[in-house]
Amino acid sequence: MVYEHVHKRFPSLSRATVYVTLSLFADLGLIQEVSGPIRRYDGQAARHVNLVCERCGSVVDVFDTRLEDIERKVASQARFSVRKTRFELHGICPNCQRSA
């Protein structure tokens, strides 16, 4: 989707360049990679939980101010230096639950 959008403006741009750039943005913490059967990215870089539907693939962002405290507490207990954070819950969204 990103490639299609950018390619309209920059026709000589390759898909590889788009994927490398997205990966770099994720490494820099500007975007987040969302796990699943296909590679997807979330433009919301602030700490939040991704609720990922295993049926339709939809992703819902949920923000909670306690996430930073949880991360800090867990990392401190393990004496772990955190570089990146990703909070994901996988399951079935309300729409897919209703249609089942």
Tell me: pLDDT of 7 over 80. yes
Supply the pLDDT for residue 2.
Answer: 86
Residue 73, class by beta-carbon neighbours within 10 Å (0-12 exposed, 13-18 middle, 19+ buried)?
A: exposed
pTM of the model: 0.67
**CATH architecture under which domain 46-100 falls:** 2-Layer Sandwich (3.30)
CA 42 to chain centre: 4
Alpha helices, H only, the chain: 2-9, 15-27, 66-77, 94-99
Q: Quick: pLDDT tens for 43-58.
A: 877 888 999 999 998 8
Mean pLDDT of the chain: 89
Domain boundaries, the chain: 46-100
